[in-house]
Amino acid sequence: MNHRFFVYPLLIGLLLVGLFTLPIFLSTYWVLIVTEILTMGLFAMSFNLLFGNTGLLSFGQAGFFGAGAYFAVLCLVHLSQSLWLALICACLGAAVLALIIGWFSVRLDEIYFAILTLGFGMMLFTVAHNWRSVTGGSDGLGNFVLPALNLVIWKVSISHPRHFYYLVLVVTILGIFLLRRITRSPFGLMLQASRENSNRVAFVGGDLRALRLLAFVLAGSIAGFAGALFAIFNRIASPEMLHWSFSGKAVLMTILGGSGVFLGPVVGAAIFFILEHWITSFTNSWMVFLGAILVFLVLLFPKGVLGTLITWVDRSGKGKQP
């Protein structure tokens, strides 16, 4: 029996049913945690469009995440009370920034790309941190009225954690579906080809810079979208969301779950937050454990948790081969 055609769709279906019925049997506390997992998972997936798919290690992804957060909050404070408008603002704003930054960054690759994106991300961080009159400086920007969700005929308040959970769940699934379409499209396959061998892509006439730039802009706008959700969820946009160590979180989650598997980053985000809540319940030194786990994973599970699991399942499905 081939797992790829039978078991995986079944598992995904079960997972979806589970996610939609989750608030019925989980406490509000855990609903909040799952909301956080979904938002950060989407962020990590936007990072993996660049890393796992295109082979570009961006250490500035938090710049777009945080920019999206600020755009959304600024839109809610100054423009209108519409949630949709705020989310669109965040998406477009982050996309424009990604277009400018990407235009410079995609000329380089490997470590140089990583360090340059880190630099640009930190420039955005400086703007958020120091432009007090607009961004509120290091205190962040949090004085906004939580908008209602306008679903054409009726308005739903999202101040209730369960309502907000469903909103995040639906848009995250849409975002993940969009990412799936992108990675499976001819464009997505060209990205993978450029990861495997950028010279050959250039030889067959692929415009490497344009491909990478488009991937960068798409990843940036999805990160901005996730950032907007995160800011509305936390009721604040703060400079730490743009700091390079926040980009490091996306990198961590992706590796934890497995960068070579489509859903790896979300699984990584889930493992990350569940571990965090479990470990911080008995010690303050969560980072010691996280660091040790990361070292351990890199050494023993280079494909990440989900990646390794899938390899095992595939192997057992095919029977024992010599």
Partner 1 sequence: MEGFLANILNGLSWGMLLFLISMGLTTVFGVMGVLNFAHGSLFMLGSYLCMQFVRWSGSFWMGLIFGPPIVAALSILIERFLLRPIYGRDVSFQLLLTFGLMLFLDDGVRLIWGPAYHVVAPPPILAGVIPFFSKSYPVYRIFLVILGPLVGFSLWMFFSFTRWGKILRASAMDRQMAEIIGVRVPILFTGVFAFGAWLAALGGALAAPHQSVGPAMGERIIIESFIVVVIGGMGSFPGAFVGALILGLLNSFGTTWIPDLQMALPYLFLAVILLTRPRGLFGGEA
Q: Which residues bind partner 1 (CB under 8 A)?
A: 51, 57, 104, 107-108, 110-112, 114-116, 118-120, 122-123, 125-127, 129-130, 244-245, 248, 251-252, 255, 285-288, 290-295, 298-299, 302
Report, in Å, the least distance between residue 55 CB and partner 1. Answer: 9
Q: Beta strands of the chain (E only): which ranges?
A: 148-151, 154-157
**What is the DSSP track for 181-195?**
HHHHSHHHHHHHHHH
Which run of H or E residues covers position 279?
helix 264-279
**What is the DSSP track for 148-180?**
EEEETTEEEE--SHHHHHHHHHHHHHHHHHHHH
Report, in Å, the least distance between residue 306 CB and partner 1. Answer: 16
Report, in Å, the least distance between residue 230 CB and partner 1. Answer: 21
Report, in Å, the least distance between residue 312 CB and partner 1. Answer: 20
Minimum CB distance to partner 1 smaller for 92 or for 108: 108
Tracing tokens 């939609």 back to the chain, one arrives at: 20
Report, in Å, the least distance between residue 57 CB and partner 1. Answer: 5
Q: Are 84 and 309 contacting, i.e. CB atoms less than 8 angstroms apart?
A: no
The SS3 of residue 150 is strand
CA distance 9 to 16: 10
C-alpha dihedral (194, 199, 203, 209), degrees to nearest 10: 60
- Cβ contacts of 24 within 8 Å, gap of 6 or more: none
Report, in Å, the least distance between residue 126 CB and partner 1. Answer: 4
